[in-house]
Amino acid sequence: KQEVTQIPAALSVPEGENLVLNCSFTDSAIYNLQWFRQDPGKGLTSLLLIQSSQREQTSGRLNASLDKSSGRSTLYIAASQPGDSATYLCAVMWNDYKLSFGAGTTVTVRA
């Protein structure tokens, strides 16, 4: 079964600390992997998209890595700020083009 898991479910860090969010998936036959941010009651904002042929993507303070063979992706957020507080979702598009989401990691950055 194609599943996406995110651990931990919640994370609280002091401002300035680096964040490390984990995503694992059960099948290496993926098309791409996308990280999203969701604020309470809102839609999803795309952060980074990694194609299956890529190992990492970077945007500003964000860096996402992908290891298909081990079924893992990691999102790094450098020098966290209170504005980074949100739920972060990992989404895997499989080779059949269906998208599966993890349950998300809720991040709180304490000022």
Partner 1 sequence: KAGVTQTPRYLIKTRGQQVTLSCSPISGHRSVSWYQQTPGQGLQFLFEYFSETQRNKGNFPGRFSGRQFSNSRSEMNVSTLELGDSALYLCASSLFDRVVYNEQFFGPGTRLTVL
Q: Which stretch binds partner 1 (CB under 8 A): 14-22, 37-45, 58-66, 71-79?
A: 37-45
Kindly provide the b/e burial profile for residues 3-24, where b requires at least 16 CB atoms within 10 angstroms of the residue's own CB. ebebeeeebebeeeeebebebb
Which DSSP state fits 41? T
103 near partner 1, rule: CB under 8 A: yes
Q: Which of 11, 13, 49, 62 binds partner 1 (CB under 8 A)?
A: 49
CA nearest to 49, candidates 33, 25, 68: 33
The region, left, alpha or beta by phi > 0 then psi within -120 to 50, assigned to residue 77 is beta
91 near partner 1, rule: CB under 8 A: yes
From the CB of 38, what's the least distance to partner 1, in Å?
9
51 near partner 1, rule: CB under 8 A: yes
Q: Are 50 and 66 in contact (CB under 8 A)?
A: yes
Nearer to partner 1, 21 or 80 (CB): 21
60 near partner 1, rule: CB under 8 A: no
58 near partner 1, rule: CB under 8 A: no
What type of residue sits at position 4? V
Q: Which stretch binds partner 1 (CB under 8 A): 7-15, 17-25, 72-80, 89-97?
A: 89-97
110 near partner 1, rule: CB under 8 A: no
